[in-house]
Amino acid sequence: MEKCVNILHNAPTVDAAPVVHGEWIEGYRWNIVREKIECYTILCPECDNTFQTKTEEDREYWKKRFKVCPFCGAIMDGERRTNEPEKPV
């Protein structure tokens, strides 16, 4: 089993003002392309970008640290305050 590479340090910074609210979706065992690498992940529901961490503790740490998605600027406070209607399931 290969060690999961922590890519969080390469996350970009957000320039645009955040307007969307959301909540990180936790996951694990993310398969990267052809290799099966065990990771803990958090997924942004707004832009579908995923951050991967080596441990569950790391995941919790980064989840709390990322109040805003570095990719799309969504505010991760667990609430949706957009004016758009919920997407149909």
Which stretches of the chain bind Zn ion, using CB under 5 A? 44, 46-47, 69, 71-72, 74
| Cβ closest to Zn ion, residue 42 vs residue 72 | 72
Beta strand 50-53 pairing with 31-32: unpaired
- Composition of the chain by helix, strand, coil, percent to 5: 15, 20, 65
| Cβ closest to Zn ion, residue 37 vs residue 43 | 43
| Cβ closest to Zn ion, residue 3 vs residue 87 | 87
Is there a contact between 21 and 45 (Cβ–Cβ < 8 Å)?
Answer: no
Compute the least distance from the CB of residue 20 to Zn ion, in Å: 8
Compute the least distance from the CB of residue 38 to Zn ion, in Å: 23
Residue located via tokens 């060690």: 3
Compute the least distance from the CB of residue 28 to Zn ion, in Å: 19
